[in-house]
Amino acid sequence: MSEFDVVVIGSGPGGYVCAIRCAQLGMKTAIIERYPTLGGTCLNVGCIPSKALLDSSEKYHETVSTFDVHGIKVSKVEIDFKQMVKRVDDVVSQTCDGVKFLMNKNKIEIFHGHGTFKDDHTLTVSDGKSSTEVKGKKFVIATGSKPSSLPGIEIDKERVITSTEALKLSEIPKHLIVIGGGVIGLELSSVYKRLGSKVSVLEYADSIIGMMDKDMGKNLQKVLKKDGVEFYTSHQVTEVKNTGKEVSVKAKDLKKDKEIELKGDYCLVAVGRRPYTDNLGLEAAGVELDDRGRVNTNEHLQTNKSHIYAIGDVVKGMMLAHKAEEEGTLVAELMAGQKPHIDYNLIPGVVYTWPEVASVGQTEEQLKNDKVPYKKGSFPFKALGRARASNESDGLIKVLAHKETDEILGVHMIGPRCADLIGEAVLAMEFRASAEDVARISHAHPTYTEAFKEACLAATEDRAIHM
């Protein structure tokens, strides 16, 4: 039997980052993973393959629909979908191999198999054929999440699918029906719309990407509608049936109180994810869940058993890879006696559609609700030289700052390369910058970053220069 200072269960971005930081801090560390490859949801069936497919579909879409504006004529453009999916697989396997390399480099012992607590210091790891026991002084539960479904709807993985299957289809759908206008639903709608599918999105709420600032959802819906995506907001799905070669989806229009039926060849269910603790033996370890099935933790991410920590998608908070990574580092440093801190308000959120949507801090709705006095400044990309030069003028940046102190409280953007632009806003807010601080910093011309400076100028006494 092997004995470790720390045993990390799960090798996603939470688990593998935590294991590396533990090893860097001198702890004898093991990592347990039930699948043959490391990297968890993010590397295998989440962030990495979805971004790879988004990128390929974007290149195709640009070639067929925007090259002519640039004066480039292309005569015959075809999609080799098999090659597209193969490239995604290659990117995934290179990235997962990279994690394995890092485990070996940091002398972290890898155990492949499903981990189940036997007691609060022992984990049984079983690969279906044999099992081994791993002892730990401390444990970190980083077991992530799985797709949720809706009551009465069976995900058969053939026609009624989750993101995992949608990233590995053998054909481009003719008509993809998407349930859920959240992050997964919209990123995968973009992929298949660009590749030629008809795409219909059914969303229960009255707007898409409901967790973000309302202006972002409105703008994104406008652009995606222009691209041909059909939206059915305020629609509650009541039935999904696989009829062989087809799938039929019924939903109730909540505003008109009538039923609609859509028929397509695939139905993607993207209504959120649930924490994954199946067969983890939490009862044997005496670890408690909260009322939403997440592992219950205190502000130091300790469970009710103080030597067992939990991080990432399996605990409260946003289900994001970088949030899981920060928590992995925090827990390792806490175990080593350091005093790390995470400001959850400054974890950015990004939707990788095109235009991209990115956000950090408080939304306008939250500030109104909390009665915080605020002012705002917006700047549209169409007023920016760089955006016009690249023919990318959809979108805007909105800066929310405290009315009296001018401190930036929230930044919300939709437009070209916003996934990268948001980094400057996070940095500014981390150092508690005022809108005027950013407005006074020189930003290279012509770049997209100038839109952030201009939005900050607009928030500072309405001083935008190019508007």
Contact present, 109 and 31 (Cβ < 8 Å): yes
Active site residues: 445
Q: Which is nearer to ligand NAI, 125 or 262 (CB)?
A: 262
For the purposes of burial, counting CB atoms within 10 Å of the CB of 216, is it exposed (0-12), middle (13-18) or buried (19 or more)?
buried
Tell me which stretch binds ligand FAD (CB under 6 A): 91-99, 311-319, 376-384, 442-450: 311-319
Tell me which stretch binds ligand FAD (CB under 6 A): 7-15, 222-230, 236-244, 454-462: 7-15
Tell me which stretch binds ligand FAD (CB under 6 A): 11-19, 21-29, 77-85, 228-236: 11-19
The binding track of 206-225 with respect to ligand NAI, each residue x by CB under 6 A or -, is ----x---------------
Report the distance separating Cα 301 and Cα 452, nearest Å: 35
Work out whether 143 is an interface residue with ligand FAD (CB under 6 A). Answer: yes
Helix orientation angle between 321-335 and 13-24, rounded to the nearest 10 degrees: 30
Q: Which is nearer to ligand FAD, 327 or 450 (CB)?
A: 327
For the purposes of burial, counting CB atoms within 10 Å of the CB of 128, is it exposed (0-12), middle (13-18) or buried (19 or more)?
exposed
Work out whether 320 is an interface residue with ligand FAD (CB under 6 A). Answer: yes
Contact present, 38 and 21 (Cβ < 8 Å): no
The binding track of 346-375 with respect to ligand FAD, each residue x by CB under 6 A or -, is ------x-----------------------
Q: Which does 182 bind (CB under 5 to 8 A by kind): ligand NAI, ligand FAD, none?
A: ligand NAI
Tell me which stretch binds ligand FAD (CB under 6 A): 150-158, 227-235, 316-324, 365-373: 316-324
Q: Cα dihedral sign for 90, 95, 101, 104?
A: negative
Q: Which is nearer to ligand FAD, 353 or 378 (CB)?
A: 353
Report the distance separating Cα 170 and Cα 336, nearest Å: 48
Work out whether 25 is an interface residue with ligand NAI (CB under 6 A). Answer: no
Q: Please list the alpha-helical segments (H only) found in 7-148.
A: 13-24, 40-45, 47-65, 81-105
Other CB atoms closer than 10 Å to residue 198's CB: what's the count? Answer: 16
Residues 83-112 that bind ligand NAI (CB under 6 A): none
Helix orientation angle between 47-65 and 81-105, rounded to the nearest 10 degrees: 140
Q: Which is nearer to ligand NAI, 2 or 164 (CB)?
A: 164
Work out whether 273 is an interface residue with ligand NAI (CB under 6 A). Answer: yes
**CB 274 to ligand FAD: min, Å:** 11
Q: Which does 192 bind (CB under 5 to 8 A by kind): ligand FAD, ligand NAI, none?
A: none
Report the distance separating Cα 309 and Cα 450, nearest Å: 42
Joined together, the tokens standing for residue 257 give 């109180």
**CB 82 to ligand FAD: min, Å:** 21
Residue 347, classed as helix, strand or coil, is coil
Residue from 13, 185, 312, 355 that binds ligand NAI (CB under 6 A)? Answer: 185
Q: Which residue, among 368, 204, 173, has the nearest Cα to 271 in the 3D structure?
A: 204
Residue from 184, 201, 209, 287 that binds ligand FAD (CB under 6 A)? Answer: 184
61 to 68, 234, 330: CA distances (angstroms): 12, 29, 41
For the purposes of burial, counting CB atoms within 10 Å of the CB of 296, is it exposed (0-12), middle (13-18) or buried (19 or more)?
middle
User: Where on the chain is the footprint of ligand FAD (CB under 6 A)?
Assistant: 9-15, 32-35, 40-42, 46-47, 50, 114-115, 142-145, 163, 184, 276, 280, 312-313, 319-322, 324, 352
User: Where on the chain is the footprint of ligand NAI (CB under 6 A)?
Assistant: 150, 179-185, 187, 202-205, 210, 236-237, 270-273, 318-320, 350-352
